[in-house]
Structure 1
Amino acid sequence: MIQGVKIKKLVKYVDDRGFFSELVRDDENLLSEFGQASWSMSYPGVIKAFHYHELQDDLWFFPSGQAQVVLYDLRPDSPTYQETNVYYLGVDNPSLLLIPKMVAHGYRVLGNEPATIIYFTTKSYNPNHPDEKRIPWDDPSIGFDWETKNR
């Protein structure tokens, strides 16, 4: 696992009315500080990749749909430098994924339904100085093959 990445399996408390689940708590030390919470939806087959941040950590959660999440460590001083990790998150695997600063990240929506992502960041978005650096989804230096392998 890329150094600094954390994954938290969510616990659902289910009864005859539905369910309840805590996402993130201040006593879990997942986020070093709170900056912003955001919500986004992407259509089936969409690839949103890659980007990274120099100043903020991200905490991702997919409450609906399915996503293939890809991380790539850009930190030269990290023991996991240039390592790639893949996670499958969504309604079938409700988990939180902490993505440290300087780890490139992106996702592809799997299946036939849109995927919704809710994410928390340690800094608020600043439109005048965005902490959002882009890398093409098919960048050869990362070399990730987004195509599904039929087995």
Structure 2
Amino acid sequence: MPIKDQRGFFCRFFCAEESKEVGFNKCVAQINHSHTLRKGAVRGLHFQYPPHVEAKIVSCLRGEVFDVAVDIRKGSPTFLRWHGEILSLDNRKNLLIPEGFAHGFQALTENCEMIYLHSEPFHAQAEGGLHVNDPSLGIVWPVELTEISERDCTHPFISQNFEGITL
């Protein structure tokens, strides 16, 4: 929780001990920062295939986003189910995206900035993605989709024989 006074606030962004308690028990291998200009724009749904699966801790530094995690773990009881949370500068929530989950978000305001702590560095050969409009996922995006990158538009819809990833 932030400690506030007349100057503003101070809060801890990351603590390895506290993070272990919620399941992020690896070192931070990479930190990414994104800026999304327009309301409605979507980034994702991204993941890395084994052996480079990653956990992430994500937080919104400016604006407000709808952040989504989709379970793609083979044999999981929540396989292909999604969970969404609103992250914002105001609520200062962090979201843990466990290994074996695809991740993406939609900007709910203009000029959103996100920071991501990754347990693995990016490996282009291990990159995977799900299409944000895949009807089999049924993600309910809060506002109309306004922009999706060319790369994210090429992510496939899930086929009937998609079994997920093995951790």
TM score, norm. by length of structure 1: 0.81
User: Residue 61 of structure 1 aligns with which residue?
Assistant: 59
Q: Any conservation in 2 of the 1:12–1:20 contact (CA below 8 Å)?
A: yes
Secondary structure of 1:27's aligned partner: helix
Q: Which amino acid aligns with 2:119?
A: T
Q: Counting strand residues as a fraction of each chain, which structure ranks higher?
A: 1
Q: Any conservation in 2 of the 1:31–1:59 contact (CA below 8 Å)?
A: no
Whether 1:133 aligns to 2:128 is yes
Q: Which amino acid aligns with 2:61?
A: P
Secondary structure of 2:44's aligned partner: strand
Q: Which amino acid aligns with 1:27?
A: E
Secondary structure of 2:136's aligned partner: coil
User: Residue 124 of structure 1 aligns with which residue?
Assistant: 121
- Which structure 1 segments of 5+ residues have no match? 1-10
State the 1:31 CA deviation. 4.1
Q: Which amino acid aligns with 1:26?
A: A
Q: Any conservation in 2 of the 1:67–1:115 contact (CA below 8 Å)?
A: yes
How many correspondences in the alignment?
136
Distance verdict in 2 for CA 1:17–1:147, change over 3 Å: closer
TM score, norm. by length of structure 2: 0.74
Q: How does 1:2-151 map to 2 (within 5 A)?
A: 11-28=1-18, 29=20, 30-43=24-37, 44-54=39-49, 55-111=53-109, 113-127=110-124, 129=125, 131-148=126-143
Aligned equivalents of 1:60, 1:147: Cα separation in 2: 19
Aligned equivalents of 1:105, 1:125: Cα separation in 2: 14
Distance verdict in 2 for CA 1:64–1:31, change over 3 Å: farther
State the 1:147 CA deviation. 4.5
Aligned equivalents of 1:52, 1:18: Cα separation in 2: 36
Give per-residue Cα distances to partners, 1:6-30, cap 9 Å, x unaligned.
xxxxx11111222111111121213
Identity %: 27
State the 1:52 CA deviation. 1.6
Give per-residue Cα distances to partners, 1:17-74, cap 9 Å, x unaligned.
2211111112121342220111111022211121122321111010110001122111
State the 1:126 CA deviation. 3.4
Q: Counting helix residues as a fraction of each chain, which structure ranks higher?
A: 2
